[in-house]
Amino acid sequence: MADKHPNNNLKRSIGFGSAISIVIGTIIGSGLFFKQASVLDSAGSSTMAIIAWIFGGLITLTGGLTIAEIGAQMPYTGGLYVYIENLYGRICGFMSGWMQIIVYGPAIIASVAGFMSILMANFFGLGPNWSIPLAIVTVIAIGLLNFLENKVGAVFSVITTIVKMIPIAAIVICGIFWGHQDALGQTISQVNQSTGGFGVAVLATLFAYDGWILIANLGGEMKNPQKLLPKAIILGISSVLVIYTLVTIGIFRFLPVGLIHRLGENTTAYLATKVFGIIGGKLLSAGIIISMMGTLNGKMLTFPRIVYAMARRGDLPFSKYLSYVTPKGKSPVVATLFIIVLAAIMMMFFEPDHLSDLCVFTVYCFYLLAFFGIFILRKKNKTRPFSTPLYPLVPIVAILGGLFVLISELINDPAGVLLFIGIVIVGLPIFYVVKRMDRKRLK
């Protein structure tokens, strides 16, 4: 018999330190280091770019505060998949899970790995043809790490989160105290006209902030998740908002915006070498690569849990195999392999920048449903482990932010949006086929 809340075979071993490290470590990755130029190009000036980073952080924080209340009432493995099902029913829940394991999860892993491989190729002096092989090998290696019990992946998240603070601190301190540019007021308005404006700039920052909800997928593996989950989400997002703003100011203090525009994705690598010399730049680049590995680890730790949760329910083809966990470590190894294969396929067919925008659009379709869910739960439950502050203002801002994301991406990339929506919709007939086969088997 399939479990409604499939936590039975997983250990509750994740404490507060590991939880907040997973939140921060999963969020801070490629976006912070690779989206600076694209945010600037769209915003048109350093001032508006900084505001875009703050605005994106506030949208994310309102979403986090909203989900914190919902998650505290549903502390089960599966996160958004479980929330949507409990709020809107079985089919909507399935579509949410399907979206995460077929589109969003593999796409965001492929995007982060793709960005990271650019730095790795530069670090080892390799040509651009090595980017995809490096990305695939890294994803496989981190996936194998997560074959071990969840404590190992959580410890890796703590270590990489600590390591990633080194390049961040270096950029902030050197930029703010030794930079000679004005962080505010530098303009490149001629670029702004062709790259979408302030709305697209905020959209680019949301990729850099995304990943905060993934800790909810580990709700069934946390100690005291009703209290721990809201704290980890809120403190994690708030910390990242401050860090992103300071890093952006540091970069604008050190480099003129015209140069940032010309450097594009190579801005951070150039800054590292310019500030610390060739050897120091290499060390800083190594720190950024480790930072991205931590981000990948957080995603490889969480997305297979969604596959596992759905397979335990019998929602997927080959559920018997996808729900397998190792006898000792209780790790969903087949589900992890499944995510690795899909991510590798996406790396070979899509550019990381394109994937980053599309995966944000896709997940926000379901974030919106979850945000609306807080109003449903408030009517049902008068007592809650955690209550969103400034209700209903905060959920309303989260909903408006979600609508802004969907409309912006639909205007800027209708073809990509239709492709990803189509892949999500394919899940519906698959759901009915799997359920029909289950009924036949029971007869």
CATH number, span 16-186+198-442: 1.20.1740.10
Between residues 192 and 311, the one the model is more confident about: 311
pLDDT for position 8: 46
pLDDT for position 149: 64
Query: pLDDT tens across 6-63, in order?
Result: 444 555 667 777 788 778 877 887 777 778 888 888 888 888 999 999 999 999 999 9
Mean of pLDDT over the chain: 82
The structure tokens 């007869």 sit at 443
pLDDT for position 416: 82
Q: Is the pLDDT of residue 371 over 80?
A: yes
User: What are the helix (H) ranges across 146-186?
Assistant: 150-178
| Lowest-confidence region among 22-26, 70-74, 142-146 | 22-26
pLDDT for position 297: 81
What distance in Å separates the CA atoms of residue 391 and residue 210, rounded to the nearest whole number?
23
**For 176-215, b where at least 16 C-beta lie within 10 A, e where not — what string?**
eeebebebeebebeebbeebbebbbbbbbbbbbbbbbbbb
pLDDT for position 219: 66
Residue 322 in contact with residue 334, Cβ under 8 Å?
yes
Between residues 400 and 118, the one the model is more confident about: 400
24, 40, 313, 320 from 2: Cα distances, Å: 33, 49, 5, 11
What distance in Å separates the CA atoms of residue 353 and residue 365, rounded to the nearest whole number?
19
Residue 312 in contact with residue 6, Cβ under 8 Å?
yes
Q: Is the pLDDT of residue 396 over 90?
A: yes
Query: pLDDT tens across 268-291, in order?
Result: 778 777 777 788 778 877 888 887
Q: Is the pLDDT of residue 406 over 80?
A: yes
What's the token pair of residue 109? Answer: 């892993």
What distance in Å separates the CA atoms of residue 403 and residue 72, rounded to the nearest whole number?
25
Confidence of residue 226 (pLDDT cuts 50, 70, 90): confident
**What is the chain's Cα-based Rg?**
21
What distance in Å separates the CA atoms of residue 202 and residue 55, rounded to the nearest whole number?
7
What distance in Å separates the CA atoms of residue 148 and residue 327, rounded to the nearest whole number?
11
pLDDT for position 57: 93
Residue 330: HSE in the Cβ half-sphere, 13 Å Cα cutoff = 12
Contact partners, residue 415, CB within 8 Å, separation at least 6: none
Helix (H/G/I), strand (E/B), else coil: 315 = coil
Residue 13 phi/psi, 5° resolution?
Answer: -125, 0
Question: How many residues in total does the chain contain?
Answer: 443
- How much of the chain is in helix, strand and coil states, percent to nearest 5? 80, 0, 20
Helix (H/G/I), strand (E/B), else coil: 434 = helix
Paired strand residues for 45? 187
Confidence of residue 88 (pLDDT cuts 50, 70, 90): very high
Query: pLDDT tens across 295-347, in order?
Result: 788 788 778 888 888 888 888 888 888 888 877 767 788 999 999 999 999 99
Q: Is the pLDDT of residue 221 over 80?
A: no
| Lowest-confidence region among 177-191, 297-311, 349-363 | 177-191
Cis peptide preceding 327, ω within 30 of 0 = no
What's the token pair of residue 429? Answer: 């007939």
pLDDT for position 368: 93
To the nearest whole percent, how much of the chain has pLDDT over 90? Answer: 19
Domain residue ranges in the chain? 16-186+198-442
Q: Is the pLDDT of residue 1 over 50?
A: no
What distance in Å separates the CA atoms of residue 32 and residue 24, rounded to the nearest whole number?
12
* Maximum average pLDDT range among 185-189, 337-341, 432-436: 337-341
